[in-house]
Structure 1
C-alpha cells in the first residue's frame, strides 16, 4: 500500500499498535491525551478567575487544535500574522484577533476582505499609529459594518505599540473620527518576560505591566472612551495575571505543547510545570561510527535553533546531550553504557515549540504507543 500523499509517508501506520516507535523521521509527534489535558487545564484556570481566553495560534498553527480550544470554552483565538488569521477565518474559527499591526496596501486589502468574509465582530486587529488607522479606515469603507480595532500598548518591550497614555488617547480619538472603525479595547502583551526563569522577577515584571495597563485604561475611560476588552497575558504569567483583575482576557499559546524553555520557567522548586509536554520531535539513529556519540537525522531543519538545544525524552537511557551537527543531522552525546543502536528512535522535547512547529507540515497524533491520526498544520509558513 502506497502512503497517502496528503498524510505523508506514515499514513500506513495509522492504528497499528507500536507504530509510535516506527515512524519515518524526522516526525513531529503530538501526544493527544496530554494536549487535551493542557487545553482543559488552561480553560479551567480562565473560568475559575472569570477571565476570557483567546489563545494564540502562533504556537500550534492548527485549525483542529483551535477548534478544541473553542470547544473547551475559549472565546476566540489570537494570530500573530494575517496569514494565520486567514487560515483560521477560512476554517470558520470565530473571534479572531490579529496581534500585530497590518501595514501596506495589499495586506490591508486582504484584511478587509477577510473581515467581510468573517462577518461583524468576528475579526479584530491592533493598531498603534494614526497613519495606519487612516489607511485602514479607507479600505474599511467597503464594509457594511464598522471594523473592530484594538490599541496596541508597547508593554515595556517597544516592539510595537503606543509608547504612553497620551499617545493612546490621541489614537483613540483618531479611531473615533474615522467613522469606519470601532475601538474595542487595549492589548498589552509582555512577551519579553514570559521566559524569565526566576519566579519572583517574572511576577514583578508582570505586576509592573498590569499597573501601567490599569493606568492607561483609566486614562481612556476618564476621557469618555469605553474599553470593552483588555487583552494580553502569556503562558509564563498566566496564573498571576488571570487573578489580578486588570486583563479581561488572556492570549497564552505554548501551554498546549510546552518545551524546554517553558518547562524550566513554570517549574517552581521541586514542583514540575503544571502543564504536560505534549509535543516531541522523533528522530532515528543513522550512524554509530563515533565512540562518543551517535548521529541522528534531525538537525537545524528539524528544530528551531533560537533557544538552546532539544532534550531527549525517550529512546535513550542514562545521561545524554544534543548538539547540532548540520542541517539534517544532530549529535547525541551519550553514556557509552546506554548507547542507542543503529536505527533506534529517539524523541526530543523541542527547545522552542512555536518556530519548531513552523518547520513541519503535519502532526503525528499518538495515544500511548499508537499513531491514531495525522493532522495538517494549516497555518504553517503563513507569515
Structure 2
C-alpha cells in the first residue's frame, strides 16, 4: 500500500457564492467539479495499475490543489523549481521531489534549510550536481535523498543509460551526505506524438529504460526503491509501464488542448478557462478583448482545438 503525503485542509470546502459576472477580467476560472473529477480519474488510473501517483504541481503551483491530490491518494508531489518546493512546504505539502538538479551556493543553502523542515528528494544527472549537494549536506549535518535522472531520448536533462549511468553510479558511491534511492525519467516526446499507438510505445520504452536503470544501480549496491516516470499524455497506459513504481502526471488537473489532442482527456473535461470581456467588435467574426497576449497561451501546438476550429 502506498504511503500518502501530507496535505492541508482543502480550500474548496464550502464552495463559493460569487457570480462570474462579478469577476474583474481577465481572470482564470476553474470548474471545481471538473477539477475534482480529473484528480479522481488519474488517481484511479494509477490505483488500477498498482503504482503510486506523484503529481507534478507546476501546472497549478497551488498548495490547496496539491492537498486535494494528496487527499485523493497521491504519495507526494513533484516540482520543477526550488522556489516551488519552498512554497509547497510552507503550505504543509509533502513529501516533495525536486525534479531538476540544484546547483549553486545560494540555492544549495536554501535546499539545506528546506530539507531541515520538509521531506525532500532531489534529482541529479551529473557528478557535479551530486557533489554540490553532498558538500552542502555534510556541512549542514544531514543526508539528502537523491534520484538519478535518466534521459529516455528526449534530450533535455538526464544521464544517458548504459555506460554513462554506470560511470555516474561508481562516482556517486564515493560521496557522503547523499543517499541514492531512486531513478526518474521524462519522455517529453509523448506530447508531440500523434497516435495512441505511438504514445503507448513511448510509455513502454520510458518504463523499460527506467526499470533497466534501476536494475543497473541495484546491481551496484544502491537501495533503489522508486522508479518514477510518466506524464499526462501516457497516463492511460500506466498498466503497461512495467517496473515503474510511480507516475508524475501533472497537466491533467486543469487539462488543455494539447491533452485533448493527445486523447488524454476530452475538451469537456478541461477544468480551466480564461474569462475575458469583449470590448469591441470591429468585424462580426473578430471580437476584441482586453486580456492581452500574456494571458493567452501561444504554444504553436495548441493554436487549433481538437475540433479543428480556430481558437
TM-score range, shorter chain: 0.7 to 0.9
Structure label with greater radius of gyration = 1
Q: CA deviation at 1:112?
A: 1.3
Alpha-carbon distance in 1 for matches of 2:227, 2:155: 18
Equivalent residue number for residue 6 of structure 2: none
Aligned to 1:341: none
Partner of 2:188: 191
What is residue 309 of structure 1 aligned with on the other side? 303
The alignment covers a number of residue pairs equal to 295
Kindly provide the CA deviation profile for residues 153-182 of structure 1, in whole angstroms up to 9, marking residues without a partner as x.
112112111012222223233333222100
State the secondary structure of the residue aligned to 2:237. Answer: helix
Match of 1:348 in 2: none
- The corresponding residue for 1:265 is 262
Per-residue CA deviations over 1:174-229 (Å, capped at 9, x if unaligned) read 33322210011101111222342311112122222222222222222223323100
Please give the alpha-carbon distance, in whole angstroms, between the structure 1 residues aligned to 2:193 and 2:131.
38
Alignment pair present for 1:151 and 2:130: no
Give the match for residue 69 of structure 2. Answer: 69
| Structure 2 Cα separation of the partners of residues 144 and 103 of structure 1 | 19
Is 2:9 the partner of 1:15? no
Question: 1:138 Cα shift?
Answer: 0.8
8 Å contact 1:133–1:174 — kept in the other structure? Answer: no
TM-aligned CA distance change 1:274 to 1:321, over 3 Å: closer
Compare relative contact order (CA 8 Å, sep 6+) and give the higher one, 1 or 2. 1
Q: Are the counterparts in 1 of residues 187 and 230 from structure 2 also a CA contact under 8 Å? A: yes
Match of 1:25 in 2: 25
| Preserved CA contact (<8 Å) 1:287 1:294 | yes
- The equivalent of 1:363 in structure 2 is none
Native 8 Å contact 1:140 1:147 kept in 2: yes
Matched, 1:284 2:277: yes
Q: Is the 8 A contact 1:285 1:295 kept in 2?
A: yes
Give the SS at the match of 1:35: helix
Deviation of 1:15 (Å):
1.4
SS of match in other structure, 2:29: strand
**Structure 2: stretches of 5+ with no match in the other structure:** 1-15
After TM superposition, which residue ranges in structure 1, 4 or more long, deviate above 4 angstroms? 310-313
Q: Does 1:181 align with 2:178?
A: yes
Task: Give unpaired runs (5+ residues) of structure 1.
Answer: 1-13, 314-318, 323-383
Q: Distance in 2 between matches of 1:218 and 1:320?
A: 47
Q: How far apart in 1 are the matches of 2:26 and 2:227?
A: 40
For residues 117 and 40 of structure 2, the distance between their equivalents in structure 1, rounded to whole angstroms, comes to: 30
Task: Check whether the contact 1:52–1:249 (CA below 8 A) recurs between aligned residues.
Answer: yes
Task: Tell me how far 1:289 sits from its aligned partner.
Answer: 2.6
Give secondary structure in 1 for the equivalent of 2:252.
helix
Higher strand share: 1
User: What are the superposed Cα offsets for residues 227-286 of structure 1, whole Å, 9 maximum, x if unpaired?
Assistant: 10011200001121344322100100011111111112116xxxx639811000011110
Counterpart for residue 85 of structure 2: 85
Identify the structure with the greater helix proportion. 2
**Against the structure 1 CA distance between its residues 311 and 296, is the aligned structure 2 distance closer, same or farther, given a 3 Å change threshold?**
farther
Q: TM-score, normalised by structure 1?
A: 0.72
